[in-house]
Amino acid sequence: MNGVLVIDKPQGMTSHDVVNRVRRILGERSVGHLGTLDPSATGVLPLVIGSFTRLAQFYSDSEKTYEGVIRFGFATDTYDADGEATSTPQVVVLNREEVEGLGELFRGSIEQMPPPFSAKKVAGVPAYKLARKQREVQLKPVLVEVKEFAILDVAGDQATFRAHVGSGTYMRSIAHDMGQKLGCGAHLASLRRTAVAEFVVEDAHTLERLESEVRQGSAEEFCDRFFVHPRKLAPHLPCVTATEENVAMIRTGRSVNLPEMSRAPLVKVFYGQRELVAIGTRIAGTLFHAGIVLAASSHPLPARR
């Protein structure tokens, strides 16, 4: 079973919890995710299944889109609603124009300090492990890209936002830093991820529906209904439909000539419309080698006449 499955992660589960649950549902050991989502957050969590786990390298710098709520009035040690308050709660009535003006400071390339409770590593140890043991966490600011940060609504002490950000951006840190600038403290009250790279929330499935459908349908029906169509994956790479002979050669590690692809450094090689066989790397001219083979040999090389 090879493919990409988009899960609508529920609140309270870690990304690893979701991976383990899907492993049990599908009976497939090779399952990974494309970008960690905090336990308190919900939304898009793309999973790579079977040999498609090899595609993870193409998603290490994926952009993400979020919608969420920032609550002003006090900060927390985790920068979200799951943490302990680190400042005395204040009664805050927000002014929308002031919040929108503040939001402008968090657009573009900005330096951001990761939360102490995060997966960022300090001397090889994830920061959250040190923070849980109440050890000092010395993180360094990192440069992140915030392509969009829009305040959608302001009511009482809460501001609803939408953001489109580059890889490595923490929305928790933006919430915390906004609270510091207003002088009243703030934290991320809720967060929903609506997109990761080409994967959007409209394509996401709940774990409950996944489990129900697996029990009722065949494996082939399941793959057609739940897996993202392979031709939609890594859209920045061009596609080519190879001949049966070329596919057989690719699967056995031999280089092939793909005349249609004279300039592309990488190409997705398909057998038919749906079977993604490999990611080919151009050696020279139109000669390609399968740097990543995604399917075991199932089509024998035609006999030569």
Q: Which residues are known to be catalytic?
A: 38
Q: Which of 141, 174, 153, 158 is nearest to 64 (CA)?
A: 174
**Residue 196 to residue 167: CA distance in whole angstroms:** 10
Q: What span, in angstroms and rounded, lies between the C-alpha atoms of 210 and 71?
A: 34
Q: Three-class SS of residue 33? A: strand
Instruction: Label residues 244-262 b or e (16+ Cβ within 10 Å = b).
Output: eebbbbbbeeebbebeebe
| Structure-block tokens of residue 164 | 């489109």
Q: Are 2 and 190 in contact (CB under 8 A)?
A: no
* Axis crossing angle, helix 207-216 with helix 219-226, rounded to the nearest 10: 150
Helices first, then strands: H and E counts in the chain: 7, 16
Nearest-CA neighbor of 178 among 69, 274, 272? Answer: 69
- Where does 47-119 have alpha helices with state H? 96-103
Mapping DSSP to helix (H, G, I), strand (E, B) and coil, where does residue 168 land?
A: coil
Contact 182, 174 (CB under 8 A): no
* Size (the chain), residues: 305
Q: What is the rounded CA–CA span in Å between residue 20 and residue 27?
A: 10
CA distance 146 to 295: 37
